[in-house]
Amino acid sequence: MTQVQRFTINTAGRDFAVGDIHGHFTRLQAALDAAGFNPATDRLFSVGDMVDRGPESTDVDVWLAKPWFFAVQGNHEQMAVDGHRLSHKGQASYLHIINGGAWLYGLSSAEQAFYVDLFAELPIAIEVMTPMGPVGLVHADCPFDDWAQMLGALEREQGSMRRSVQTICQWSRSRITSENATGVRGIRAVIVGHTVVLQPTVLGNVYHIDTGGWMGGHFTLIDLATLECLPSVNPEVRSR
């Protein structure tokens, strides 16, 4: 696994990020169409949790093969890896199953290994250069108040120290539950998902964009250059 994946500036088109997908790729495609996404020039970055809960989890390999689609590893991809590799019939797989991962264990052993190998190679963090400066993505939260410190911990630490940093990146809700608006230094913005919000929520320079497109809400796309969200307002709220 490459802990951090870096991308140079997109000089041909736009870069977007999207929140948790959870097996609803048809809905995601509809959101891309509404935004006028151009696969010839634009790129889409996922904050992870592409699978589980929804009916199209097995389509994740098709999306990961698209030359314009990139993702970090969310806690659901991490649960799939642990469930398959550590204890197929034990506690790790049970945790995955009760969180929507039953689809994986209904596949053949070869198919399970295929998907797990894809998930295991996903980075924990992505950094994208934009005309206005670098933007970072992790699934849930940045464990430090300095982006470079987090990257250093992911790339240089080993063993339990690295794992603890990964766990916070993939599982933490402390920033949003405490409404911590301190922000993260050394990066223009950090884009996260994991915790469902009614509207895109900004705390300091951390943008929470999981607006529940997989569970009756809507998918939010954020333009990484402008940091503008599409749609800008929850359609359900706007229509009231």
Strand bridging mode 133-137 / 125-130: antiparallel
> What is the distance between the alpha carbons of residues 114 and 137, in angstroms, rounded to a whole number?
25
3-state helix, strand, coil in the chain (%, to 5): 35, 20, 45
Coil vs helix vs strand at 6: strand
Contact 146, 204 (CB under 8 A): no
Q: DSSP secondary structure string, 187-216?
A: SSEEEE-SS--SS-EEETTEEE---BTTTT
Q: Which residues are known catalytic residues?
A: 76
Tokens in use for 106? 């209904």
